[in-house]
Amino acid sequence: MKITNIKQFKPNREFKREDLHTLGEFLVGAHFDEDEVLDGQGLYVIPGLVDIHLHAAYGADFMDGDEKSWHKIARFEAEHGITSLCPTTMTMTEDEILKACSIMNSYKPSDNEAFLHGLYLEGPFISPNKTGAQNSEFIKKPNLEFVNKAIEASNNQVKFLGIAPELDGAIELISALRNKVICSIAHTACSYETAMKAIAAGVNHLTHLFNAMPPFLHRAPGPIGAAVETESCFCELISDGVHVHPSAVKAAFKLFGKDKIVLISDSMMATGLDTDKSYTLGGQEVFVSGKKATLKDGTIAGSVSTLFDCLKTAITQIGIPIEEAVACATYTPALCAGISDKVGSLNSGCYANLLFIDKNLELQGVMLRGKMLWQNF
């Protein structure tokens, strides 16, 4: 297929009027046997979004223990422009986490569903002082045996592990997992010095920057200061307009630079549904009002926004340049997850996962692995 009359997002982070070409599921260079032409009607075309951290959507949760829930989420996400994702677990019982790992092993996406590119274990090795919406009842001490069980149950598909590095045995676990799992500083009360030890041991990631961690103070810079100093450290950021103040979002881009920020949704099951009622997350009741989801005590409990919603908010409400925001929701998450050869850009050889958006950043169509999932043009 030849896709014409578009402004495509180029790897150098600019939009250019240039045709795209697909062959089967993939993007390719120009070829001469194209029998189908798609007129993009002047729309912007960007890669399908890559959400490496989300728990649930549309009434389903990856911790439901039911593969049907996974298919429901993957379909919903694809329809809303998220064509690649990493299912994210919660701090729950060992059996429930291992069940999610086993589903990851057996899961096969349908043609209308987002690809799953590995599991994100958010806990259970977290600080009891920074649980956020995680259930403190199920916190575990860092345990290599448990991680190995999860890796085996998922058939080596554990991609990320969120861990508080101040816990006894955490640094040793990080070191043991080096080059096997991407370890991320998460739900932590650690100091700058401990964070630097974790980074030296193999950490190169920070889970939802600013949330569930100490603030960046001038005499106690904490994990944020450690990550700022570390060129190889990626930082997740929830730009839903609720989790992080717009000023802090803009400050993060200045502190870390546009190449290290990974936009995530951290979405929970209310995403895509009526947001003025109660739901659950990690077995705990969550109350949703508008764009804000909280536990009974007022703790923010995930978001009700898709990554596409977060992208729009970053651009239209916070003021992040569109070229930077798009990269942070496509190429950068793909790069940090080690899948940038397959997704996250419009380079030849990548999957033909394309989003067609208008000048108001409204989604007008989704191409999933070379086939139009839906279109309004």
- Residue where the block lists tokens 């593969």: 67
Residue 142 · residue 168 · CB < 8 Å: yes
pTM, entire model: 0.97
Is the model's pLDDT at 145 over the cut of 90? Answer: yes
What's the pLDDT tens digit per position in 48-67? 999 999 999 999 999 999 99
Both tokens assigned to 86: 């990493």
List the one residue out of 172, 235, 245, 181 whose CA is nearest residue 205.
235
Q: Residue 95: what pLDDT?
A: 98
Tell me how far apart the alpha carbons of residues 182 and 138 are, in angstroms, rounded to a whole number: 22
Has residue 195 got a pLDDT over 90?
A: yes
Q: 102 is written with which tokens?
A: 């086993």
Question: What is the percent of the chain with per-residue pLDDT over 70, rounded to a whole number?
Answer: 99
pLDDT above 80: residue 275:
no
C-alpha–C-alpha distance, residues 84 and 80, integer Å = 11
What amino acid is encoded at 213 in this protein? M
- Of the CA atoms within 13 Å of residue 132, those in its CB half-sphere come to 29
All residues at 6 or more sequence positions from 70 whose CB lies less than 8 Å from its CB, including other chains: 60, 62, 87, 103, 107, 116
Residue 266 designated active-site: yes
| Percent of the chain surpassing pLDDT 90 | 95
Query: What value does the mean pLDDT take over residues 236-260?
Result: 96
Tell me what the pLDDT averaged over the chain comes to. 96
**CB 223 within 8 Å of CB 236:** no
Q: What is the pLDDT of residue 37?
A: 92
**What phi and psi, each to the nearest 5 degrees, are found at residue 193?**
-65, -45
- In this prediction, residues 28-36 reach a mean pLDDT of 77
- Per-residue burial over 12-40, b if 16 or more Cβ lie within 10 Å, else e, is eeebeeeebbbeeebbbeeeeeeeeebeb
Q: Cα dihedral sign for 369, 372, 374, 377? A: positive
Average pLDDT over residues 126-140: 96
Cα(336)–Cα(309) distance, integer angstroms: 21
Q: What is the pLDDT of residue 213?
A: 98
User: For residue 336, which of 147, 165, 184 has the smallest C-alpha distance?
Assistant: 184
Q: Summarize pLDDT for 302-314 with one digit per residue, the tens.
A: 999 999 999 999 9
Kindly name the residue from 51, 266, 276, 341 that is annotated as catalytic.
266
Q: Can you give the pLDDT at residue 33?
A: 65
Angle between the 94-106 and 144-153 helix axes, to the nearest 10 degrees? Answer: 30
Structure tokens at 71: 């298919």
Per residue in 161-170, pLDDT (tens digit) is 999 999 999 9
